[in-house]
Structure formats: structure tokens, C-alpha cells
């Protein structure tokens, strides 16, 4: 589903990623772990073209991204098949929860509003928030906002989901709400890549753990091999 | 910040009213003959923009003033034993200079009962009649033909604002005309040549003076509805006005005035006989304040309607253009950005008045004659679009970068992201400064009087000067402005509070 080959990225003269190669099989969960500044988020953002890279190649959900600037049309096609959930939620504050979920299907796929709404309500139900369909993001807790953001990404029926530290901005209880949703998705066979510091989550859900240190793949393998007992 | 600025504006209007009152008090201390002799200088007010043959800038030497009234002022000053000094003022407001900046006004001021009531009027020094002027190819063949509508509806007739020609045209309810007021004769004739007007009515001496420069125009029929010019002085300067009358009498009887008019090709025997025998104009009586307000209020209200119309027609346009420019500068193609930056700098860096002039007086020269109202709305919209674009640019930048990324990550195009995610948020962020700008535009509509649109300030100015009730009408006009702008201020503050509450909530 995803093949990253010899990826290198440079920002302001610093090498952020170097010779990163990894593969993610369909229906599996890969977690990216490692120290801050190791390049986890940059790698994730290269996967849907939010950032460009200097060398190498990314094949994802049947699309290929090459080094340098990406043509806008190609990016739009990639992003329709690859969803992303951000650390800061990034819900659209001027829209209600349900409108956040239905906006992209309506304007990108031209889905009729009534169909988008009924599907949106199903998704909100799946993340346990159908009661809050008409609430504005500012009135929701962080955990609730992040769950709406997950529903918003799922509404595009992505083949791959990318999570960029989805629980770092949340307290433990809210983190648990969000992680439950992600684990549930993983059980349903959603292919996903998750950047996280939460080794507990990695042990619980990951098929593969990739540790990035100083822009390189330090270690990669099943969680039991990579995450030593007693780690965070 | 917004609240403070609005407070300043409201306060400003009251300050204006207070200033008017102060001016009237100051007029009580006008310089009379002894002060002028002691000073050695007679200061005379006129408008060099009004044009020839009265007072105009010598085209051969733009630092010099020419005109028969320039010569007359010099002769009068010599008679009084002093020298003459020119003071510039806007023609329809020249009497307001008296007692402050000028000792007398010599500028084709027609004798009228209202003027005789409010100022001291000298004996006549010139006799004029009104001449209708039109293009040579015009179907108009006599002033009487104005009674029937022309091929394009009512005839559009230009006049000098506040002149006898304007009074005459507005008085003639039997004419099917739309009267358009100008601040200068040349502007008016240019617009006649450019086919914005069908005809113009002006003093015969002005028509013949401009005949060479505007060869495609001609006088229509014989001059009619004449009168005389008078020299105005302040009410409390009896000795100065008596001295001016005596001096004029000497100039008329010993033939020096005729010699002057001969030089300017203005004299005829008829003219001089008229001046010698002219009777005094009886002063008008001042009506009661209640009558005045009853008469003026409908006119002021109608002009307030024009002020509102100009504002609500131009501001949405300014917002649309401004938003497009802001989006173009931030997200448009690289080659377009310098042009948009130039657009903003030019419109912000030049006065609104100049832009309106360009739209109204210069465009007809390249074959694009806009009606005054269209030029006014377009000018206001373009000028304000520059300010709005800067506000929206700031608003778009204030939307967190994560919003754009989230929209793009959902597969939206750049324009879809802008349209559905960034712009709606930016619009909410900039609501308070935009509302505040609307109040500023509302106030700036008064500049449109420069291109013949009569809105509230212009209506006030015309009414105040024709009735002499400067302070009373200023207060009524200020109240009308406040009644219109205060609700807008409240709206702006409401937006601001709503926004603050929302940001507090999202931080909580």
C-alpha cells in the first residue's frame, strides 16, 4: 500500500530525512517512533505531499510522488485517497461538527447534501459523537474535536490514514477516547501510519514499529522486538 | 481601538458645529476702513478656479492672475489709498471669508435680496445676462425649447453651483431639465463638449470669454434673466462699504471703468447706463426658524438618502474587489502580484477627490463618459477596495496555517480551500475593522459633491449659504449624520464583542 524508497529531505540546509526506506502492507498499522526532531512528522507529511522531498520516491495508494515540486492535480488525487489527522485537530471553527465532516465529500466529490449528511451522521456515530452533530468545534472538548477530525478524514473513504501525534495535545482521559477510536479503526482493517510517543498504543495496535533517529531508520520490526519492556 | 476612532468622529462633528458658531462670532470683529488703511492692504476674495473673464490663472504665466476683476480690485485699492492682495476661496463659500480672511469679495457675485440681507452689498459694477450654451450639432435652438424633453429625456443643464444661473434653472419649473451643479465653469464646459451635458447656462461674459477655447459650442438664443454684480463686505463695516461705493461711483462717472471694460471687450453703452442708474436691491426678510427647518428638512432627508445610497452601493463592491485583490496577492500567480500591489498603492496613495475627478472629467476625453452617480460609486468602491484588500490580507494571514493544510489534506484544491475554509474565517476575523471602514466611507461620500452628486454635506452647504442659517442647519445636518452613523458604530462594537467572546470560549 505504501512504499518509501531512499527518501531524503532538506530544510534550510539541514538534512531532515536521509535514505529512508520502508514499506506498509494493506490493512496494517505502522507506528513511527523516535526522539523529537528525528523526522517522524516530516516523513508523514511527505506521504501526502504536504511537504516536498529532495530525493527518492513515495508510492502510496496507487499514486507515485517524486522528488521536487508536485503538480497540484497529482497532489489532489493523492490526498483524496490518503486522509490525515493532525496534532492540533485543525477543525474548521466556522462550521458545525457535521459540516466539518460533510464539506470535503460535498465539494470534492460533489456528493448531494442529504447523502453527505446521512453518511456524516453515521461517521459521527462511529466516533461516539452523533449527539454533537450541530455543535461548533469551540464548544467541544479536545478529545471530542479530535474524534470529529477523524470522522472528517474518514468521510473521504481514504485507503490510507495518517495520524500526526493525534493525542499529544490531550490529557490521558481524552487520549484514551481517541486511541480507542483509532484501535477500533485498525481492527476494521484500515491501513494507517501513526506518529506517536505512546509506546502503549504501539504495543496494542501496531503491526510494525519504525524508529527514526536523526532522519534515518534506526530500527524497524514488530513492536515486541523494537519496544523493550519498561519503555514509555 | 475602533471605539476610540468612532468617538473621535462623532466628537468631530460637534466640533464642526461649534466652529461654525465661533466663525459667526469672529465675523463681528471685521476690519473696517481705518484698519485697512493702517494695514495698507485691501484683501479681496475670489475663486481663481471660477474662470475668466473674472479671475483666472494666466495660461502664459501660471504664477500670475488675470481677469477684469483683478484690474478692478487694483483700481479700487488705489482709490482707497492702499494696495490690493488676492485671497483664494471656493466660489460658493466666498462670503464666509469676510471678516476673517478677506475684507471684501469681488467675483461676479450677483445682487440678490438674500445677499443684501446677510452682507453689505456695494452698488453694481457690472451687468450680466444669462446665456444658454450647447454643442453646435445640438437640436436645442432656443431657451424656450427646454420646455419640451430632449431625445434622451430631460435636458441635462450644467450651472455653476450657487450662481444666479442655478437659481434661475431651478426656479423654472416649466423647463424639462435636470440641473447639474459644478464648482468651475471650465469643468462644466468640458462636460458639455464631452456630451455628458446637453447645455449649460452661464453669465454671457463667461460664455463669450470661453467661445474660442470651446469652438464646438455655441450660444443658443439671446441672453435672458440678467442682473448685476456686487462687491460684498462684512455687515459691520459701514465705512468700508461706503468708501467702495464712492470709489465705484468715481470710476463709473469719469469713464475709467468703461475703459477697463473696453480693454476686456466687455463694455457697451448699455452696460454703463445700467450701472449708472441701477436701483438698490431690497434686502430679503429672514423667515422663522421653524419655517426654515420645515422647508429644509425634506431636502436634507432626500440628500441623506443619496448619502446612504452611495454608501450601500459602493461598499459591497469595495469588499468584493478588495477580497479578490487580497486573495490574488497572497495566493494568485506570481506575475499578477506586483500589479495588484501597484493597484493598492496607487489607490491608497492618491486622494479620493483626484480619483473621482479622473473618472468623471478625464474618462470622457477618451470616449468613456460615465454618469456622475456611476463615477461616484465606482470611485468610492475602487478607493475603498484598496483599504479593504489590506484588511482582508491581514485577515487571511491571521487564519492558522493548519486550516489550509487540513483543507488540502482532504483533497480540496487551493481555490476550494480558500473559498470554503480560509475566506469565511478571514471575513469573520476582519468584521470589526470592515464595519468601521464602512462608517468612514459613509462620511467620505461627501467628496462626491466635487463631481456634481448632491449628497447631504453639499445640500447643507447650498442651503446654509442661500438662507444664511449656517449654524442652525449645521446642527440639523450633524444630527442626521449621527442618526445614520451611530447604529453602524453600535453594530461594529457588537461584532467586536461577539468575536471576543468567541475567542475566549475557544481558549477555554
- Residue B384 pLDDT exceeds 60: yes
Least CB–CB distance from A76: residue in B411, B425, B505: B411
- Chain A residues touching residue B409 (CB < 8 angstroms): 48, 50, 79, 82-84, 86, 153
The average confidence (pLDDT) of chain A is 91
The whole-angstrom distance between B329's CA and the closest CA on chain A is: 19
Is B416 at the interface with chain A, CB within 8 A? Answer: yes
Interface test with B, best of A73, A79, A136 (most B CBs within 10 A): A79
Please tell me which residue, B488 or A190, carries the higher pLDDT value: A190
Instruction: Render pLDDT for B273-318 as a digit per residue (tens, 0 to 9).
Output: 777 777 777 777 777 888 888 888 998 999 999 999 999 999 999 9
Is B502 at the interface with chain A, CB within 8 A? Answer: yes
CB contact under 8 A, A103 and B420: yes
- Chain A residues touching residue B420 (CB < 8 angstroms): 103, 107
CB contact under 8 A, A90 and B428: no
Residue in A closest to B404 by C-alpha = A90
Instruction: Render pLDDT for B316-366 as a digit per residue (tens, 0 to 9).
Output: 999 999 999 999 999 999 999 999 999 999 999 999 999 999 998 888 778
Cβ proximity of B325 and B340 under 8 Å = yes
- pLDDT score at B77: 94
Interface test with A, best of B401, B403, B409 (most A CBs within 10 A): B409
CB contact under 8 A, B410 and A79: yes
Least CB–CB distance from B411: residue in A79, A91, A93: A79
The average confidence (pLDDT) of chain B is 86
- pLDDT score at B1: 35
pLDDT class for B156, splitting at 50, 70, 90? very high
Is B428 at the interface with chain A, CB within 8 A? Answer: yes
Classify residue A174 as left (phi > 0), alpha (psi -120 to 50) or beta. Answer: alpha
- Chain B residues touching residue A103 (CB < 8 angstroms): 410, 420-421
Least CB–CB distance from A50: residue in B409, B424, B506: B409
The whole-angstrom distance between B494's CA and the closest CA on chain A is: 18
- Please, where in chain A does CATH 3.40.50.300 lie? 1-83+192-232
Least CB–CB distance from A108: residue in B411, B421, B505: B411
Cβ proximity of A48 and A84 under 8 Å = yes
Instruction: Render pLDDT for B236-272 as a digit per residue (tens, 0 to 9).
Output: 899 999 999 999 999 988 888 888 988 888 877 677 7
- Chain A residues touching residue B407 (CB < 8 angstroms): 92
- Residue B186 pLDDT exceeds 90: no
- Residue B482 pLDDT exceeds 80: yes
- Residue B466 pLDDT exceeds 80: no
Is B409 at the interface with chain A, CB within 8 A? Answer: yes
Superfamily name with CATH number, domain B32-125+230-276 = Periplasmic binding protein-like II (3.40.190.10)
As given in the structure block, the three cell numbers for residue B501 are: 467572546
Measured distance CA(A22)–CA(A33) in Å, rounded: 14
CB contact under 8 A, A92 and B428: no
As given in the structure block, the three cell numbers for residue B70 are: 483683478
- Residue B3 pLDDT exceeds 80: no
Measured CB to CB, residues of chain A less than 8 Å from chain B are 48, 50, 72, 75-77, 79-80, 82-84, 86, 88, 90-94, 103-104, 107-108, 137-139, 149, 152-153, 156
- pLDDT score at A149: 95
Measured distance CA(A102)–CA(B307) in Å, rounded: 43
Going from the C-alpha of B80 to that of each of B36, B74, B88, B247, B255, the distances in angstroms are 9, 10, 21, 8, 18
| Beta-bridge mates of residue B182 | B160
Measured distance CA(A40)–CA(A32) in Å, rounded: 6
Neighbouring C-beta atoms of residue B289, cutoff 10 Å: 10
Instruction: Render pLDDT for B103-154 as a digit per residue (tens, 0 to 9).
Output: 999 999 999 888 888 889 999 999 898 999 999 988 888 888 888 888 888 9
CB contact under 8 A, B412 and A108: yes
Secondary structure, 3-state, B327-372: HHHHHCCCCCHHHHHHHHHHHHHCCHHHHHHHHHHHHHHHCCCCCH
Cα angle A203-A205-A210, degrees, rounded to a multiple of 5: 65
Q: In what order do the strands lie in the sheet with A216-221?
A: A82-85, A160-164, A191-195, A29-33, A208-213, A216-221
Average pLDDT over residues B183-198: 88
Going from the C-alpha of B292 to that of each of B283, B298, B468, B475, the distances in angstroms are 18, 11, 11, 13
CATH 3.40.50.300 corresponds to the domain A1-83+192-232: yes
- Please, where in chain B does CATH 3.40.190.10 lie? 32-125+230-276, 128-226
- pLDDT score at B489: 83
pLDDT class for B22, splitting at 50, 70, 90? low
Measured distance CA(B130)–CA(B128) in Å, rounded: 7
Secondary structure, 3-state, B89-149: CCHHHHHHHECCCECEECCCCECCHHHHHHCEECCCCEEEEEEEEEECCCCCCCHHHHHCC
3-state SS assignment for residue B412: coil
- Residue B218 pLDDT exceeds 50: yes
The whole-angstrom distance between B495's CA and the closest CA on chain A is: 15
- Please, where in chain B does CATH 1.10.3720.10 lie? 289-507
How far from the centroid of its chain's Cα atoms is residue B245's Cα?
32
Is B332 at the interface with chain A, CB within 8 A? Answer: no
Q: Is the dihedral of CA A18, A21, A26, A32 positive or negative?
A: negative
**DSSP label at B66?**
E
CB contact under 8 A, B409 and A79: yes
- pLDDT score at A107: 94
- pLDDT score at B468: 78
CB contact under 8 A, A92 and B421: yes
Interface test with B, best of A74, A85, A93 (most B CBs within 10 A): A93
Cβ proximity of A92 and A103 under 8 Å = yes
The whole-angstrom distance between A201's CA and the closest CA on chain B is: 24
Superfamily name with CATH number, domain B289-507 = MetI-like (1.10.3720.10)
pLDDT class for A231, splitting at 50, 70, 90? very low
Least CB–CB distance from A104: residue in B403, B405, B412: B412
Interface test with B, best of A82, A137, A138, A193 (most B CBs within 10 A): A138
Measured distance CA(B77)–CA(B248) in Å, rounded: 11
H or E element at residue B73: helix B68-80
Burial class (CB within 10 angstroms; exposed 0-12, middle 13-18, buried 19+) of A185: buried
Classify residue B331 as left (phi > 0), alpha (psi -120 to 50) or beta. Answer: alpha
Residue in B closest to A102 by C-alpha = B410
Instruction: List CB contacts of A46: < 8 A, sequence separation 6 or more.
Output: A4, A7, A9, A17, A52, A53, A58, A65
Burial A51-73 (b: 16+ CB within 10 A, else e): bebebbebebbebebebeeeeee
- pLDDT score at B13: 54
How many Cα atoms are found within 13 Å in the side-chain-facing hemisphere of B342?
Answer: 5
Measured distance CA(A133)–CA(B105) in Å, rounded: 75
Measured distance CA(B20)–CA(B26) in Å, rounded: 10
Average pLDDT over residues A20-25: 93
- Chain A residues touching residue B400 (CB < 8 angstroms): 90
Is B215 at the interface with chain A, CB within 8 A? Answer: no
The whole-angstrom distance between A113's CA and the closest CA on chain B is: 15
Measured distance CA(B205)–CA(B52) in Å, rounded: 9
Average pLDDT over residues B452-473: 85
Measured distance CA(B183)–CA(A203) in Å, rounded: 85
Interface test with A, best of B334, B407, B408, B411 (most A CBs within 10 A): B411
Cβ proximity of B135 and B195 under 8 Å = yes
As given in the structure block, the three cell numbers for residue B46 are: 475670489
- pLDDT score at B114: 85
Is B151 at the interface with chain A, CB within 8 A? Answer: no
- Residue B184 pLDDT exceeds 90: no
pLDDT class for B464, splitting at 50, 70, 90? confident
- pLDDT score at B17: 57
- pLDDT score at A232: 43
CATH architecture, range B128-226: 3-Layer(aba) Sandwich (3.40)
Going from the C-alpha of B455 to that of each of B20, B305, B445, the distances in angstroms are 20, 8, 8
The whole-angstrom distance between A13's CA and the closest CA on chain B is: 23
CB contact under 8 A, A107 and B400: no
Q: Which long-range contacts does B269-276 make (Cβ < 8 Å, 24+ apart)?
A: B270/B127, B271/B126, B271/B127, B274/B124, B274/B127, B274/B228, B275/B123, B275/B124, B275/B125, B275/B126, B275/B127, B275/B228, B276/B252
Interface test with B, best of A45, A70, A72, A90 (most B CBs within 10 A): A90
Measured distance CA(B143)–CA(B97) in Å, rounded: 35
Amino acid at each position: 500500500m505504501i512504499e518509501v524508497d531512499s527518501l531524503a529531505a532538506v530544510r534550510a540546509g539541514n538534512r531532515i530525512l536521509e535514505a529512508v526506506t520502508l514499506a506498509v502492507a494493506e490493512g496494517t498499522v505502522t507506528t513511527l517512533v523516535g526522539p523529537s526532531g528525528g523526522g517522524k512528522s516530516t516523513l508523514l507529511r511527505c506521504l501526502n505531499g504536504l511537504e516536498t522531498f529532495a530525493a527518492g520516491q513515495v508510492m502510496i495508494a496507487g499514486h507515485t510522488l517524486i522528488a521536487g515540486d508536485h503538480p497540484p492535480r497529482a497532489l489532489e488525487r493523492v490526498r483524496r485517497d490518503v486522509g490525515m489527522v493532525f496534532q492540533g485537530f485543525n477543525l474548521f471553527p466556522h462550521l458545525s461538527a457535521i459540516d466539518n465532516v460533510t464539506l470535503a465529500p460535498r465539494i470534492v466529490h460533489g456528493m448531494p447534501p442529504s447523502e453527505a449528511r446521512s453518511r456524516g451522521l453515521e461517521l459521527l456515530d462511529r466516533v461516539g459523537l452523533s449527539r454533537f452533530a450541530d455543535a461548533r468545534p469551540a464548544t467541544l472538548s479536545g478529545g471530542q474535536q479530535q474524534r470529529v477530525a477523524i470522522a472528517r478524514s474518514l468521510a473521504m473513504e481514504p485507503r490510507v490514514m495518517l495520524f500526526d501525534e493525534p493525542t499529544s495535545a490531550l490529557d490521558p482521559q481524552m487520549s484514551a477516547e481517541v486511541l480507542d477510536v483509532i484501535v477500533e479503526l485498525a481492527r476494521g482493517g484500515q491501513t494507517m501510519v501513526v506518529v506517536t510517543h505512546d509506546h502503549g498504543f504501539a504495543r496494542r495496535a501496531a503491526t510494525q514499529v519504525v524508529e527514526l533517529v536523526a532522519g534515518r531508520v534506526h530500527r524497524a520490526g514488530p513492536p515486541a522486538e523494537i519496544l523493550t519492556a519498561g519503555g514509555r | 481601538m475602533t471605539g476610540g476612532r468612532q468617538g473621535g468622529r462623532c466628537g468631530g462633528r460637534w466640533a464642526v458645529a461649534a466652529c461654525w458658531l465661533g466663525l459667526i462670532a469672529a465675523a463681528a470683529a471685521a476690519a473696517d476702513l481705518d484698519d485697512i488703511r493702517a494695514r495698507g492692504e485691501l484683501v479681496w476674495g475670489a475663486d481663481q478656479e471660477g474662470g475668466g473673464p473674472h479671475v483666472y490663472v494666466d495660461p502664459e504665466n501660471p504664477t500670475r492672475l488675470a481677469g477684469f476683476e483683478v484690474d478692478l480690485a487694483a483700481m479700487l485699492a488705489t482709490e482707497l489709498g492702499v494696495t490690493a492682495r488676492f485671497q483664494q476661496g471656493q466660489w460658493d463659500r466666498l462670503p464666509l471669508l469676510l471678516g476673517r480672511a478677506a475684507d471684501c469679495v469681488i467675483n461676479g457675485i450677483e445682487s440678490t435680496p438674500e445677499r443684501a440681507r446677510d452682507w453689505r452689498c456695494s452698488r453694481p459694477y457690472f451687468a450680466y445676462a444669462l446665456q444658454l450654451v450647447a454643442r453646435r450639432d445640438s437640436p436645442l435652438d432656443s431657451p424656450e425649447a427646454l420646455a419640451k424633453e430632449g431625445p434622451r429625456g430631460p435636458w441635462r443643464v450644467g450651472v455653476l453651483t450657487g450662481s444666479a444661473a442655478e437659481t434661475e434653472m431651478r426656479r423654472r419649473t416649466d423647463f424639462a431639465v435636470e440641473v447639474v451643479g459644478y464648482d468651475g465653469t471650465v469643468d462644466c464646459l468640458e462636460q458639455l463638449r464631452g456630451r455628458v451635458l446637453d447645455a449649460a447656462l452661464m453669465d454671457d461674459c463667461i460664455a463669450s470669454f470661453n467661445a474660442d477655447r470651446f469652438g464646438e459650442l455655441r450660444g443658443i438664443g439671446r441672453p435672458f434673466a440678467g442682473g448685476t454684480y456686487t462687491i460684498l463686505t462684512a455687515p459691520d463695516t459701514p465705512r468700508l462699504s461706503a468708501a467702495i461705493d464712492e470709489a465705484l461711483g468715481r470710476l463709473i462717472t469719469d469713464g475709467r471703468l468703461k475703459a477697463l471694460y473696453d480693454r476686456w471687450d466687455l463694455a457697451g453703452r448699455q452696460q454703463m447706463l445700467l450701472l449708472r442708474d441701477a436701483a438698490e436691491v431690497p434686502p430679503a426678510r429672514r423667515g422663522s426658524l421653524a419655517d426654515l427647518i420645515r422647508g429644509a428638512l425634506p431636502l436634507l432627508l432626500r440628500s441623506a438618502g443619496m448619502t446612504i445610497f452611495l454608501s450601500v452601493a459602493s461598499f459591497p463592491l469595495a469588499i468584493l474587489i478588495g477580497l479578490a485583490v487580497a486573495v490574488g496577492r497572497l495566493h494568485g500567480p506570481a506575475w499578477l502580484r506586483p500589479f495588484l500591489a501597484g493597484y493598492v498603492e496607487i489607490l491608497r496613495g492618491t486622494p479620493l477627490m483626484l480619483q473621482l475627478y479622473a473618472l468623471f472629467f478625464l474618462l470622457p476625453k477618451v470616449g468613456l463618459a460615465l454618469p456622475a452617480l456611476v463615477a461616484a460609486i465606482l470611485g468610492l468602491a475602487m478607493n475603498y477596495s484598496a483599504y479593504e484588500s489590506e484588511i482582508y490580507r491581514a485577515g487571511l494571514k491571521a487564519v492558522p496555517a493548519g486550516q489550509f493544510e487540513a483543507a488540502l489534506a482532504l483533497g480540496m484544491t487551493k481555490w476550494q480551500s480558500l473559498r470554503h475554509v480560509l475566506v469565511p474565517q478571514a471575513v469573520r476575523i476582519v468584521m470589526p475593522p470592515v464595519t468601521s471602514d464602512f462608517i468612514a466611507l459613509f462620511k467620505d461620500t461627501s467628496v462626491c459633491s466635487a463631481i456634481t452628486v448632491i449628497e447631504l454635506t453639499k445640500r447643507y452647504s447650498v442651503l446654509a449659504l442661500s438662507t444664511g442659517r449656517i449654524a442652525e442647519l449645521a446642527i440639523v445636518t450633524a444630527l442626521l449624520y449621527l442618526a445614520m452613523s451611530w447604529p453602524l458604530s453600535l453594530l461594529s462594537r457588537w461584532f467586536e464583542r461577539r468575536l471576543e467572546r468567541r475567542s475566549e470560549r475557544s481558549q477555554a
